[in-house]
Amino acid sequence: MFVVYILYSDITSRFYIGQTDDLINRLKEHNAGETPSIKNGKPWRVVWSVQVSSRSEAVMLETKIKNRGAKRFLHDNGILTW
């Protein structure tokens, strides 16, 4: 199983979209600053996630969300109200 996730940083007011096979570990890595491009936004928190059955499905969904934009995707799906 794989997880597609959206993180949010209250510090930078930015979203981050990713996919992994271990969300808990990946979130720890992000919040430890191991991802250079988003280390300034820590702490990150999960605002949305979904399990999918394969890596290829995860990559396709991640790309779809990135193309739409995280904020717009969350709003379209009734998750984001602000």
AA letter at 11: I
Q: Which residues pair with 2 in a beta bridge?
A: 52
- The confidence score (pLDDT) of residue 79 equals 87
Q: Residues 51-58: what's their mean pLDDT?
A: 98
| Percent helix / strand / coil, the chain, rounded to 5 | 45, 30, 25
Tell the CATH topology of 2-76. Answer: GIY-YIG endonuclease (3.40.1440)
- Sketch the domain layout of the chain as residue ranges: 2-76
- For the segment 64-76, what is each residue's pLDDT rounded down to a tens digit? 999 999 999 999 9
Q: Residues 51-60: what's their mean pLDDT?
A: 98
- The confidence score (pLDDT) of residue 81 equals 67
| The pLDDT of residue 2 is above 80 | yes
